[in-house]
Structure 1
Amino acid sequence: MSLISNNLKYLRRINGLTQEQFARRIGTKRANVGAYEEARAVPPVDTLKIIANTFGISVDDFVKKDIRKLRETPDLTFGFDSKPAYSQDEPETNEDPFDFPPSIGDLMHKFLGNEPTPQEKPAEMIAQKVTLKPTEKISFEPELPIQAPKPVPKPEYIEPAPRYVSESSAHKNTIQIVRRFQFNDYLMKNKEFSFLRTLTEFHLPTLPPGDYRAFEATEDFAFEGALLIGSLIKDWFDITDSKNYVLVTKPQGIIYRRVYNQVKIKGTLLLSSDNHRFPSTEISINDVIEIWEVKAFLSYSLPEPSISFDKLSNLVGEMKFELDRLKK
């Protein structure tokens, strides 16, 4: 390695700078600093002048003398701690970081015997006094202001639905009914007390206290015309997967669906219908006005009796017996 590479590495390490930091101080790239320290390239004259001016030494001393051996050299640090701070690409070891091997030129002089090695030079040649002038810090790259990360928007709470309670039923758990012919009005006036005052009310004593509303079911429910009694959901995260809900939506109106919560992942709800005629759809949470978890339903229709599998098996056996008998 040459004197230039050794001196450059010495100045950088005594100031506790990484190659990237040192490159910024002298206004060049990190790759160039690495090439200079490994003696794969020689700094141009302009760069040598900047280095010398930055650390208060002459270009001649930097190029021709081993700065480590200048006994009367003042502090060459550039306003940093004297202890080097090694980066990840330069791990700290127990070896002397400035114990560089002799350069090729020194070995050739020693071999040919025409010039003494640095160890053989008289002390008076090494102890020449160097006067260093103080300099100001030079900044070649403006520091960019640190911008705080933008906050991640969180889902807002659902605005509670207004509830009108008449004086006669103030102490009862009343339920207001939204009939099918009132669906369009409800979409536009669900926050107006003047409209809610017109809704029919009834009382169901078996329900626990809460905010309830009943919606007349359409063909998307197994019993069309039934009253779906829902409890108001006030937080999107309270929506439980695979449970049944009545949704008041902007694009589809008032619908009954089985819901799967994807608010945290995609900001949407996956809607699945028990009726195969209605395909599964996905709706943005911003398009949902209200959502009511179905707690009960009232219907004038009764479910059809289910067919007994034992009885069905007996019928199949009898039919098979008749077919075998006819074949004979």
Structure 2
Amino acid sequence: MSLFGKNIKKIRSVKALSQQAFAELFDLKRGTLGAYEEGRSEPKIETIIKIANYFSIPIGDMLTKELTVNQLLKFKVDFESGEVEEHEDHLSKIPCITPHLQDDYLKYSDNSNFINDLPCITLPINNGDELRAYVVDNLEMSTDNDGLYPRDVIIGEKLPRKKFSELQNSCIYIVVTKDKILLRRVYQANNKLILKADHRGIDQEEISQAEIKELWEMKYVFYHRIPEKRNTDIKEKLSFLEEEFQKLRKSFDQ
């Protein structure tokens, strides 16, 4: 016995069609369709061909394979016109900087072939911006069981050099210079940037904008563990105070 009946029942479920509505599409009686679905009767070959072609499903698959929901969702059917439009998921392949590739990235990040050969993370992100993934390999952006830990994955959006002046203070960036890659909160100070780690034991750094090869603003985080509940109010207040401190410092530098 074929899997035709089970498959058309799944098609109806995915497309939200009643037995009556489905039967009318193919000039069948509802009782006949019910018999197909329950395995009490096998359809004529013309009926199989008609239904398979309508949903753009190979006849062999209709008869011998149990179709999955994912397979069926690839096709968007206009039931009034009978036209079938293939539906494609919008997925982006994002080059990933892993810990053991950091040194090579510093040497060859300008080489498009090297970037294309990096391992990729595929995500349903399609905003047209250039993205980079980065695997955390230290505790420098962690604090009090919070923050970013080794094997967490950061997805950063590239900030072009001409937009460095639009940099958002206190946001986390992947900072690529000639000789190192850092994950830091970044603050503007005239033509310099202050790089600050969340871990109390790491000193902040000051670098000129000219030293920066690439700057990627953190947009997404994929945690390697379930983060503990955060006190967002306190973090927002601390972030605000840090930003006000930087503004005050900037006024003294002028």
TM-score, with structure 2 as normaliser:
0.49
Structure exhibiting the larger radius of gyration computed from Cα positions: 1
| Greater strand proportion | 2
TM-score (normalised: structure 1): 0.38
